């Protein structure tokens, strides 16, 4: 990965360990079917740099979807809350300005296209076949399964599915990302790699 982009990715705020971020870049670089990439859950743009670096090299777009209001665990009083990400005018989280700065600083504005809104209704109307799908949005039961059901049918055969925060041991983290990884395997996705909590699969 380009050294400059790697520096930007590592400096960006967010929830993506370096080895898993490198995994995103590496497997995104190997995608062999046509079409854009899409990630669900961008936060401040950290994963979007790793995926965007690969997309830029291949002249693809990365759609980066997030309502930018934070997941349950990012809200006031929860474990992963960052108070300076609250918009004081309205008292709600707003990671969009941070996301935009991250993408701008990395020089990826022509590659990374923000989709600002709720994942499920966007999935319902989405028609462009995807070559790569990264699921890292809401980790509750409903959002995780909705993302799986809404977005995986948009992936081309032979395309790459990446799922973050898959923890086989419940002591390490929540169940839903692990459950959708199990569903993917039942649905015929083939396991390619596991890097930390990141899982890489190929679409049937
Ligand atoms: N990939 C990011 C971390 C994502 S955190 C990184 O590399 O740092 C999860 C994100 O999912 C949050 O920003 C939250 O706003 C978003 N999210 C949660 N549920 C969502 C939904 N239903 N629709 C759109 N975005 C959602
Ligand atoms: Mg994550």
CA 160 to chain centre: 13
25 burial level (CB within 10 Å; 0-12, 13-18, 19+): buried
Q: Judge contact between 64 and 114, C-beta under 8 A.
A: yes
Q: What is the DSSP string of 104-119?
A: HHTT-TTTEEEEES-H
Nearest Cα residue to 200 out of 143, 155, 138: 155
Whole-number Å distance, alpha carbon 20 to ligand 1 midpoint, is 17
Tracing tokens 């590592």 back to the chain, one arrives at 10
Q: Which protein residues have their CB within 5 A of the ion that is ligand 2?
A: 15, 136, 164-165
d(CA 99, CA 114): 9
Which residue in 104, 139, 145, 164 is the catalytic one?
A: 139
CA atoms of 56 and 128, how far apart (whole Å): 18
Each residue's pLDDT expressed in tens, for the chain with a length of 204 residues: 999 999 999 999 999 999 999 999 999 999 999 999 999 999 999 999 999 999 999 999 999 999 999 988 888 888 888 889 999 999 899 999 999 999 999 999 999 999 999 999 999 999 999 999 999 999 999 999 999 999 999 999 999 999 999 999 999 999 999 999 999 999 999 999 999 999 999 999
Tens of pLDDT, residue by residue over 50-102, are 999 999 999 999 999 999 999 888 888 888 888 899 999 998 999 999 999 99
CB 199 within 8 A of CB 171: no
Q: Determine contact, residues 49/106, Cβ cutoff 8 Å.
A: yes
Ligand 1, atom 2, lies closest to the CA of: 42
67 has catalytic annotation:
no
In angstroms, the CA 41 to CA 70 distance is: 9
Give all strands (DSSP E) within 12-61, no chain letters. 37-40
Q: Copy the structure tokens of residue 65.
A: 């979807």
């Amino acid at each position: 990965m380009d050294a400059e982009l790697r520096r930007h990715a590592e400096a960006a705020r967010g929830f993506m360990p370096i080895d898993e971020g490198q995994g995103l870049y590496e497997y995104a670089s190997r995608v062999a079917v046509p079409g854009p990439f899409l990630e669900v859950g961008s936060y401040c743009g950290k994963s979007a740099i790793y995926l965007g670096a690969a997309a830029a090299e291949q002249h693809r777009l990365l759609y980066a979807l997030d309502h930018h209001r934070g997941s349950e665990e990012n809200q006031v009083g929860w474990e992963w809350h960052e108070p300076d990400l609250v918009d004081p005018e309205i008292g709600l989280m707003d990671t969009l300005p941070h996301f935009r700065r991250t993408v701008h600083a990395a020089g990826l504005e022509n590659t990374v296209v923000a989709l600002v809104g709720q994942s499920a209704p966007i999935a319902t109307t989405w028609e462009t076949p995807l070559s790569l799908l990264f699921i890292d949005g809401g980790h509750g039961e409903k959002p995780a399964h909705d993302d799986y059901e809404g977005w995986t049918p948009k992936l081309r055969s032979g395309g790459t599915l990446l799922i973050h925060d898959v923890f086989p041991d419940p002591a390490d983290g929540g169940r839903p990302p692990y459950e959708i990884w199990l569903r993917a395997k039942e649905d015929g996705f083939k396991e390619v790699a596991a890097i930390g909590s990141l899982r890489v699969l190929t679409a049937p």
